Structures are given as structure tokens and as C-alpha cells.
Homo-oligomer: A and B are copies of this chain.
Amino acid sequence: MTSREPKQDRSRATRQRLLEATIDCLAERGWTATTVAVVAERAGVSRGAAQHHFPTREDLITAALDYMFDHRMALAMDEATALPEGEGRTEAVVDRLLDYFTGTLFKAALQVWTAAAADPALRERVVPLEAKFGRVAHRTAIELLGVDDADPVVHRLVQATLDMGRGLGLADVLTDDSARRKQIVRQWAATLDGALGERVR
């Protein structure tokens, strides 16, 4: 064991604190307020140390979204073992998938996507992230639902489910939309289950 290891651990912990503080700060205070200095203070890290890890705001923010998304998806796969098999599985999976769109990570991402809409340089960094998120979320949904993505109807209905999730996420940004959402999720799960049930699983 060398003396470098504890230092690497500390560095990794600092990095992680910065990434988590970035997501919280974006969701709560918005894009404009989320600077490296503000995030460093929130994470209890010196500004110099923060800038050592992430030279620019764009570096910090894209790294934070990427890290938190991977973390969320890994969690989704872990949690999936606890979801019921057979009847009720589609509703449980849809409910869980759509839950992610009302969390802090979605609210943080929304700030970044919206800023990127009016900022070509940021857009260039965010577009590959968006493509990755879409691909991985789709693959995760397919695995959790246990359906065949090669069937074009299945493929499109799962896409539609994730698009609906994004829309429900947007509807939850300014007010608590959970009561309405619950009814829609239940209905959509029943309709989806019926449509998927007609396909080969």
C-alpha cells in the first residue's frame, strides 16, 4: 500500500461531492446560478480544488449529469429485482420508470437542456449526452418490461412511454402533479399491457 491511495480516495470523494452538489444546485437554483464557485461552496470544497477537477462550468455540469444518470440507471436495474413478475409487472415498471422523470436529476437536466437551446456551444456538448440518455433509458425499459425490442410496435410503444415520462416530468416542475400522474400511469400501463400482450414476448 502506498501513500497515494488515500489521496486518490479523497480526490474521488471530492469529485463525487461536487457532482452531487451540481445536480442539487441546478434543480433548486437554476442554470444561471449554478457556477463552479457556488457549487464548490455548497459541496464544502475550495474553489481551487473544484477548478482542478472541472476547469469550466460546462465540464462540471456535463460530468454531473452523466455521473448521476449512470448512477440512476444502475439503481433502476438493482431495484427491478424487487418488482412483481407476471400480472402487475407492467404497471410497476411504468410507475418506476416515470418516477425518474419527476426527480432532482430530471429537474437539473431540464435547466441544462433549456439553456442549451439558446447556446450553441453548450448544445454541442449536451446533444451526445441526450443521445446516450435516450439510448440507455430505452434499453433499461426494454429489459425491465421483458419485451422484444426487435418488434417495431413494441419499440415505438416503449419510446412513447418514455416520451410521456418526459412530458409528465415537465408537468411536475412548477406544481405537484402526482395525483393526476398516478391516474395516467395506471391507465397507460393497462393500455400498454393490452397492446404488448398481443405481441410475442
Contacts and interface: CB of A to CB of B under 8 A. Distances in A.
Interface in A176-191: 180, 183-184, 186-188, 191
B118 A30 contact: yes
Q: How many copies does the complex hold?
A: 2
A15 interface: no
A159 B184 contact: yes
B195 A156 contact: no
A33 to B, nearest CB: 7
Contacts of A169: 167
A85 to B, nearest CB: 24
Interface stretch (A4-12, A55-63, A72-80, A122-130): A122-130
Nearest to A187: B156
Contact of A116 (B117, B130, B157, B174): B174
Contact of A127 (B134, B166, B174): B174
Interface residues of A, number: 49
Contact of A160 (B134, B164, B174): B164
Contacts of A33: 118
Given A157-B191, A174-B130, A184-B159, A30 B164 contact: no
Given A159-B184, A171-B163, A180-B159, A118 B111 contact: yes
A114 B32 CA distance: 11
Nearest to A28: B118
